[in-house]
Amino acid sequence: MLKKIVLRLNGSTAKWLYVLIILFFVFKSPVFAQTPTSGPPTCDLCGLCQGQPAPSNWNSCHSCLYEGDIPTENAYWTVIGCVSTSPEGFLKSIFSFLLSIAGGISFLALLYGGAVILMSSGNPERLNSGKEIFISSIVGLLLILFSVFLLKVVGFDILRIPGFA
């Protein structure tokens, strides 16, 4: 079994391979870390640098990460918006993001079902398939809306979990 795994090289190929491996380890170029700049930082946490125009989302980022001019420690700015680092705020952000994605998928399924109905051209199988997709997407959208309502009622009104207001 071991003989099958061993790579068979002729003499000159093996010599060149050994030379390349040795040269790889002997002649290496060191990489030095960048020296830090001295003085106060020139950019804030939202990417606004001195002498440069403000980024397009700077206002919402600044309201997320700063209270006045003092940075807060309970928020983080991401591509999807402001995410809280406290457990209840983080769960609220995750629920909000996932429910918006689910609503978007349900809306796309609604459009697809309508398109299937419109393009069925009298074919009863395609027409029924489009109706099923359309009705299923409406039921899914209603399920999402009622689950948000139920989560708020149970989470805030009954159990009094902070962050569900």
**Average pLDDT of every residue of the chain:** 82
Contacts of 45 (CB under 8 A, 6+ apart): 61, 65, 66, 71, 77
Q: pLDDT value at position 35?
A: 74
pTM of structure = 0.54
- What is the mean predicted confidence (pLDDT) over 5-30? 73
Instruction: Tell me: pLDDT of 9 over 80.
Output: no
Residue with tokens 């290496």: 28
Which pairs from 72-79 meet CB under 8 Å and 24+ separation? Answer: 77/45, 77/46
Give me the percent of the chain exceeding a pLDDT of 70.
Answer: 90
